[in-house]
Chains A and B, each alone.
Chain A
């Protein structure tokens, strides 16, 4: 389902009819557990206002769903945690406000790994989301709910957050288009913070043109988020032939499923057929990316999640006698095990005595990774590779071993650490009909070019 198809339906019937149909479809697909809540009442009020001509804009009447770590009106914002169960947002995320200003209608909040910590949506306090192609498999994560909702054609677009692959990997697992933009492209104001130096906001859509539309609306500087960049998002009509593209060889080793590698090579061939050159390149620092990520990100998580203290908002444990007990019990009950694991790793790597060997070392290694990307972008326009080493794995397969789960992120964390734009677009399906995505990574602020190139290769 694309935005323009929905706009045709609104013209032929009404915004109310379209929003009602999306809500009905969401309810029919409850077994996927992709939605945590519907904002039905507010959505229908806004649909009526569109039909009455009181709300207008580029997306007037077009329904969408946001990941439940975005503050939005009409339903609680839980971040799929017990800590924020029932939390009634006093304001809306800037990204949601900008879409609403163009007339779009949020119909619900999607499932995620609690506080976006995970790669399968199995860490949700409200149960896992099932893959749109096979209900025995994971949706990917942490924006698993959003990816499945787009794949099931419940709405034409959904929003996600991507700190280390949380938009790209579930998009790949469910055969849809996901974009993690250049760091700072979209305001993070009103989105539950995870790791502030890599958190980004992006879209999940069924085609590239819709990603261009949604990102163009959300991008731009926001006084409420001082890390936002001035708006640079200008979508080119087409990309000139003769682009120099590097296929990252460290992403194509034996550890990567052969079917995944085959689809990536086929995508490379279709780029060549469009008049671009594709050659193998090396990014040796990739070997260390995951280790860098799993030091820096837990460190930032331990700091960002210190705000959940049982005092100001969110869950408070009953009957605590002292303040320390109130903190300790509220946090123990409100967080999932994976949240605790990451907070404690963060506390460890930031402790005096370990800081230099872990945190500072990782920040220096990050500099080396960025340098290698920069050196490649001096010679190549963009890089390609898989999004994940496998197609969607089975529910429960990786839950007992956190490192096995973390290894799923190995191909998505490098762009996050370097703040680079990266998109995941469908590259075909495996023999068992599971989707496989290809990842396009470009230099900072090349987001629109990456999308335009991917659009030129779209088959459907």
Chain B
């Protein structure tokens, strides 16, 4: 297993925008260490000169005409209605500054 400290877990939680509760931290610390330890076996594999694969379709540059407007089947009003809070045609959030 890979040593993952409590601080590492809290750092990953910050990167992931997760405000973890105290009772979850040690379990996640253990699990994440074990999982990273497991996937480290890839270190044994020689990948020198191998190109990475990011997608498998073989499709390239799927274009559409500039004057084609794709209907995604949803309106601004419908989306605003689904925001937890909205006002004046905008999504409402807590004060940032």
Does A311 contact B91, Cβ atoms closer than 8 Å? yes
CB-CB < 8 A to B87: which residues of A? none
Q: Across the interface, do B35 and A403 meet the contact criterion of CB distance under 8 Å?
A: yes
- Within 8 Å of chain A (Cβ to Cβ): is B3? no
Q: Which residues of B contact A417 (CB under 8 A)?
A: 56
User: In the complex, what distance in Å separates the CA atom of A214 from the CA atom of B82?
Assistant: 32
In the assembled complex, the CB of B68 is this many whole angstroms from the nearest CB of chain A, namely: 8
Please choose the segment from A9-17, A57-65, A322-330 that sits at the chain B interface, where 4 or more of its residues have CB less than 8 A away.
Answer: A322-330
Cβ of A364 and Cβ of B16 under 8 Å apart?
no
Taking the closest CB of chain B, its distance from the CB of A352, in whole angstroms, is 11
Q: Is A340 an interface residue (CB 8 A)?
A: yes
State how many angstroms separate the Cβ of A76 from the closest Cβ of chain B. 11
A447 to chain B minimum Cβ distance, whole angstroms, is 14
* Contact (Cβ within 8 A) A197 B32: no
Known: A323-B93, A343-B16, A402-B34. A90 touches B45 (CB 8 A): no
A316 in contact (CB, < 8 A): yes
* B50, A322: Cβ atoms closer than 8 Å: no
Across the interface, which residues of B come within 8 angstroms of A91, CB to CB? Answer: 72-74
Contacts of A361 in B (CB 8 A): 42-43, 45, 47
How long is the Cα–Cα vector from A90 to B54 in the complex, in angstroms? 31
For chain A, the count of residues having a C-beta within 8 Å of the partner chain is: 72
Contacts of A302 in B (CB 8 A): 16
Which B residues between 83 and 97 are near A, CB-CB below 8 angstroms?
A: 83-85, 91, 93-96
Q: Which residues of A contact B16 (CB under 8 A)?
A: 302, 331, 340, 343-344, 346-347
Please tell me if A276 contacts chain B, counting CB pairs below 8 Å.
no
Bound Cα distance A417, B82 (Å) = 35
A291-B41, A367-B50, A370-B53 given; A328·B17 CB < 8 A: yes
Query: Least Cβ distance of A431 to chain B in Å?
Result: 32
The answer to whether A331 touches B53, judged by C-beta atoms less than 8 angstroms apart, is no
Tell me the complex Cα distance, A302–B91, Å: 24
A98 → B minimal CB distance (Å):
13
* Alpha-carbon distance between A227 and B56 when the two chains are bound, in angstroms: 10
Which 6 interchain pairs have the tightest Cβ spacing? Answer: A328-B19, A419-B56, A363-B52, A316-B84, A364-B47, A91-B73
Q: List 10 A-B contacts (CB under 8 A).
A: A197-B54, A288-B45, A302-B16, A325-B94, A328-B18, A332-B21, A349-B39, A361-B43, A444-B56, A444-B58
> B-side interface residues toward A, CB under 8 Å?
9, 12-13, 15-21, 24, 27-28, 31-32, 34-36, 38-43, 45, 47, 50-59, 62, 64, 70, 72-75, 78-79, 82-85, 91, 93-96
